[in-house]
Each structure stands twice: as structure tokens, then as C-alpha cells.
Amino acid sequence: MSEIDEIDPDDFRHRRFRGDYPIVVEGLENRFGDQVVHEDLSLQVRRREILGVVGGSGTGKSVLMRSIIGLQTPSAGEIEVFGRSITNAEPDQQLGVRNRWGVLFQGGALFSTLTVGENVEVPLRQFYPDIEEDLLHEIARFKVMLSGLPEEAVSKYPSELSGGMKKRAGLARALALDPELLFLDEPTAGLDPIGAANFDRLTLELRDTLGLTVFLITHDLDTLYEICDRVAVLADKKVIAVGTIDELLALDHPWIQEYFNGPRGRAALASKARAKMDKPATGGA
């Protein structure tokens, strides 16, 4: 296959992926008993894009994410991440790619008995068991601040944080291993509009400065308009369309029209148009 296969697995984790599509899903099928969640689902995620993933509740967005990160074994289909098969790999063979992504799960999933700093240290300890304690704390502190939390948050427990701070703590843990690929499952759900907009801005900044590829599941229309390069729509057990919002609006699928052209969709568009008019001209693109 690609040249990546010839690289020593230990060396592999130190390389950045240079291909066009860090995630390729083909013919994916997921079923739970008689329930078919995905059927012949295909999707390609471009390097360094922020891909919004939308779909009604229960359409299988989280299951898709879990399949890509190897937590859910599909009943059929093929998934490659960084040019490596996730579907056919044994768990230890996935190690070389697993430390190259970070995940913010729906609901945060922080360990409640650990402080924020200790939460961020979990993946570091797992992948770099020999790392010195001082360095470990220093990296954790840095990631916490990178996620926009005050330094004091390092020693706080999840129960001492607001909803928005918990999301940022989850983000700090997702960034622990300097990932190339970031998975965010509903990162702005439950945040007030200002908190949500701040989180969106942070996501965009991190993508730009760290060169991340972002797989972003969201119901938040403002997020889609503000920061997503393309949007993938899950319906009828598949990704029925991927494109910019303008491209999606040109399709006459009822769910897409209802979602983007319904009252909330139009309000989000109007708010984006207003924000553009308020911004001073910067010249150039």
C-alpha cells in the first residue's frame, strides 16, 4: 500500500501524516442486534480541516466516532487512520496511531477522583511510562493553560468545575499527547452562547496553530457556520452528503433543508452575516 507501511512502527509515531486523508471510512456497517445503525457508510476527512458531523439524535454520530478510534468493532467495512487499518488491527498494533489522536467524549468523561492535572497525566503515563514526574506535571500544566483554563484549575477536581470548564479540562486531556487528530463529540452542548463561541474560537486557533485535523460532532449551527470547513450529514444510516454549507443547501434532501433552512439555521446564518459586517476590513482574503 503506501510508504507508511514500510516504516518501523516505533519510528511511525514520530512522523506527521502527510497524506490528504487522515481518516478514510469505506462501506462501514454497525449493528446492535437487529438494529442497523450504519450501512455502507463512507467518509473521507481531509488533513487539517475542521469537519462538522451532523445528524438527528440517534443517527449514529458517536458510534461512528467510536468506530474510527477502535472502541467499536464494526460488523463490516474498512477504516483507515493515518493510512493504517483500524478495523483489521489488533489492539497493540493500534498503539502507533492511538497516541496520535485526542478525544473529547460526549459528556466529558473525566475521572472524578483525579484532579484536572492528574486527568491530563493519564494518557501521558500510559504512553510514556518512563517520563519524569516533574516533566509530567509541567506538560499537564501547559495543556491545561493551552485549553484556556486558569493555572489553578490544575489542582481542582471535576466536581469543582463549571460545565464549560469541564469541557476545557477534557480538551486539555485530549491534547495531552500532542495529537494530529482531534475528535470532539458535542463540545459546546450545554454551554451558554458566549462560552460556546469561545470554545469554537479556541478550536479554530488550535487547528491553525497546531495544524490539527478536527472531527467535530455537533448540533450547534453557530459552530457549523463559524468554524467548520465542511459538514458531513448522517441520515438514512449513511453519510448522505459532505460539503460546505452552501453546497449542502443546494441539495434538496428534506432533513438538510429543514436543518439549515429552518428557523434556527436561518438565525445562525443571519448572525454570521452580522458578525462579518461588524468586523473591520483586513484587506486581502
Q: Which residues of this chain interact with Mg ion, rule CB under 5 A? A: 62, 106
- Is 106 within 8 Å of 57 (Cβ atoms)? no
| Helix residue spans in the chain (DSSP H) | 9-12, 61-68, 95-98, 116-127, 133-146, 163-174, 193-210, 221-227, 245-249, 254-261, 263-278
Residues 89-108 interacting with ligand ATP (rule: CB under 6 A): 106
d(CA 159, CA 118): 14
Question: Which part of the chain contacts ligand ATP (CB under 6 A), choosing from 52-60, 176-184, 235-243, 269-277?
Answer: 52-60
Counting contacts by CB under 6 A, is residue 236 touching ligand ATP?
no
Nearer to Mg ion, 61 or 143 (CB): 61
d(CA 124, CA 190): 29
Sheet of 50-55, strands arranged across: 101-104, 181-185, 213-217, 50-55, 230-235, 238-243
d(CA 162, CA 276): 31
Q: What x/- string results for residues 140 through 179 when contact with ligand ATP is judged by CB under 6 A?
A: ----------------------------------------
SS3 string, 242-274, reads EECHHHHHCCCCHHHHHHHHCHHHHHHHHHHHH
Instruction: Give Cα separations from 125 to 111, 118, 136, 177, 250 (angstroms).
Output: 15, 10, 8, 10, 48
Residue 24 interacts, among Mg ion, ligand ATP, none and using kind-specific CB cut-offs from 5 to 8 Å, with none
Q: What is the three-class DSSP state of 127? A: helix
Nearer to ligand ATP, 59 or 115 (CB): 59
Considering the complex, what minimum distance in angstroms separates the CB of residue 83 from ligand ATP? 26
Nearer to Mg ion, 124 or 231 (CB): 231
Q: Any residues with CB less than 8 A from the CB of 268 and at least 6 apart, and which?
A: 221, 222, 224, 225
Counting contacts by CB under 6 A, is residue 60 touching ligand ATP?
yes
Q: What x/- string results for residues 11 through 50 when contact with ligand ATP is judged by CB under 6 A?
A: ---------------------x----x-------------
d(CA 219, CA 213): 19
Nearer to ligand ATP, 62 or 203 (CB): 62
Considering the complex, what minimum distance in angstroms separates the CB of residue 123 from Mg ion? 22
Nearer to ligand ATP, 141 or 167 (CB): 167
Residue type at 187?
P
Nearer to ligand ATP, 62 or 99 (CB): 62
Number of residues that bind ligand ATP (CB under 6 A): 11
Counting contacts by CB under 6 A, is residue 57 touching ligand ATP?
yes
Residue nearest Mg ion, Cβ-based: 62
Considering the complex, what minimum distance in angstroms separates the CB of residue 100 from ligand ATP? 23
Counting contacts by CB under 6 A, is residue 59 touching ligand ATP?
yes
Residues within the interface to ligand ATP (CB under 6 A): 32, 37, 55, 57-63, 106
